[in-house]
Amino acid sequence: MCYIRTVYADLHAHTTYSDGVLSPTELVRLAARSGLKVLALTDHDTVEGVPEAQQAGRDLGVRVVPGIEISASFGKSIHVLGLFVDIGAPWLEAHRRTWKEYRSKRIDRICERLASVGVQLDPDAIRAASGEGSVGRPHVARALREAGFVESLDEAFARYLGDGQPGYVAANYTSVEEAIDGIRQSGGVAVLAHPGFYNLDDRLQTWVDAGLDGIECVHPAHRPAVQKRYRDLCSRLGVLPSGGTDYHGDAKRRGHLPGAFGLNEAEFAALEARVTKGQQ
Ligand code: AMP
Ligand code: ZN
Ligand code: FE
Ligand code: FE
């Protein structure tokens, strides 16, 4: 089987409203230049960047799908993408408020833990540098690099911020089931992001029973064999494949441009059709 496809829709991308480095307008401009027809904005725990992206999309001829990447947990951090959400939905606003506070306090805890191994960072400066949206580990990673503790963001995660490292603070708050339910309440389809990171394939059936609509089969971290495994699982479980670049816009791991990974037109149409089906 051949996995070279024409990318029509990139359904996973971040902006300055979370931990990406491009503004929504800059991101959509890049997507337009890459020839993408559809781009989903999926910032961590916020939809604040969507209106600006949609305006840029109208100007530049790119369809912008309103999306979000919900931080959930099941022993470890699990991300659930909400695509085609109604950005005014009350559940999304409640989630954003809870997580904004939670993420902000988490930066203090990460800095305290780092201080205990001799790494002094100023949490207020990290929050200030992160701007208005969701603050997270990539902002700490950038501060570690700027202060000269590491040379790259990858090294920051490997030595300080990744699971099991001295600065690791899990983001345990929302369950996967709550995330799925909240996304569907908000009019969207719920897609399990980058399952290749989790080693939890035996939980997929449970999450499908809880309303999961799709699995992100296509992702830069998924080798072709992994992508195929998840496509087969989608068929078996009766859910749909999704895909995207998880673009963050800096030279951290997987620095692919928007459109390097994603869905073809028919796959995108199938996912979109699920929105109306879910609302019946
Ligand atoms: P947070 O939501 O604060 O837990 O941060 C999650 C973000 O960190 C995700 O967007 C990932 O892309 C990024 N991330 C996780 N692990 C790594 C890593 N090893 N190297 C670079 N970025 C990472
Ligand atoms: Zn991120
Ligand atoms: Fe993610
Ligand atoms: Fe992401």
Neighbour tally for 270: CB within 10 Å: 14
155 lines ligand 1 (CB under 6 A): no
The count of C-alpha atoms lying within 13 angstroms of the C-alpha of 6, restricted to the half-sphere facing its C-beta, is: 7
Three-state secondary structure of the chain: CCCCCCCCEECCECCCCCCCCCCHHHHHHHHHHCCCCEEEECCECCCCCHHHHHHHHHHHCCEEEEEEEEEEEECEEEEEEEECCCCCCHHHHHHHHHHHHHHHHHHHHHHHHHHCCCCCCCHHHHHHHHCCCCCCHHHHHHHHHHCCCCCCHHHHHHHHHCCCCCCCCCCCCCEHHHHHHHHHHCCCEEEECCHHHCCCHHHHHHHHHCCCCEEEEECCCCCHHHHHHHHHHHHHHCCEEEECCCECCCCCCCCCCCCCCCECHHHHHHHHHHHHHHHC
Confidence band, pLDDT 50/70/90 cuts, at residue 3: very low
pLDDT tens-place string over residues 65-116: 999 999 999 988 899 999 999 999 999 999 999 999 999 999 999 999 999 9
Mode of pairing for the β-strands spanning 76-83 and 63-74:
antiparallel
Residue closest by Cα to atom 2 of ligand 1: 136
Look over the chain and give the mean of its residue pLDDT values, rounded to a whole number.
93
82 lines ligand 1 (CB under 6 A): no
The pLDDT value given to residue 121? 98
Q: Taking 80 as the threshold, does the pLDDT of residue 247 lie above it?
A: yes
% of the chain exceeding 90 in pLDDT: 88
The pLDDT value given to residue 254? 54
137 lines ligand 1 (CB under 6 A): yes
44 lines ligand 1 (CB under 6 A): yes
Q: Taking 90 as the threshold, does the pLDDT of residue 7 lie above it?
A: yes
157 lines ligand 1 (CB under 6 A): yes
Q: Ligand 1 centroid to 280 CA: how many Å?
A: 36
pLDDT tens-place string over residues 10-24: 999 999 999 999 999
Distances (CA, A) of 176 to 56, 72, 79: 32, 5, 8
Atom of ligand 1 nearest to the CA of 246: 12
The pLDDT value given to residue 132? 85
The pLDDT value given to residue 280? 52
216 lines ligand 1 (CB under 6 A): no
- Rounded-to-integer distance, Cα 127 and Cα 83, Å: 27
Q: Ligand 3 centroid to 81 CA: how many Å?
A: 8
Q: Both tokens of residue 188?
A: 């969207």
- Rounded-to-integer distance, Cα 127 and Cα 96, Å: 16
Residue closest by Cα to atom 3 of ligand 1: 136
- Rounded-to-integer distance, Cα 231 and Cα 94, Å: 33
Which residues fall within 8 angstroms of residue 266, CB to CB, at 6 or more apart?
none
Neighbour tally for 200: CB within 10 Å: 16
Among left, alpha and beta (phi > 0; psi -120 to 50; other), residue 262 is: left
Higher-confidence residue of 119 and 1: namely 119
Q: Ligand 1 centroid to 1 CA: how many Å?
A: 32
User: Which amino acid appears at position 172 of this protein?
Assistant: N
The pLDDT value given to residue 255? 59
Q: Taking 80 as the threshold, does the pLDDT of residue 252 lie above it?
A: no
Higher-confidence residue of 26 and 131: namely 26
Confidence band, pLDDT 50/70/90 cuts, at residue 238: very high
Find the mean pLDDT for residues 136-159. 96
The pLDDT value given to residue 41? 98
Confidence band, pLDDT 50/70/90 cuts, at residue 1: very low
The pLDDT value given to residue 172? 77
Q: Both tokens of residue 268?
A: 């995108």
Q: Ligand 3 centroid to 169 CA: how many Å?
A: 16
Q: Both tokens of residue 25?
A: 């307008």
Mode of pairing for the β-strands spanning 38-41 and 9-10:
parallel
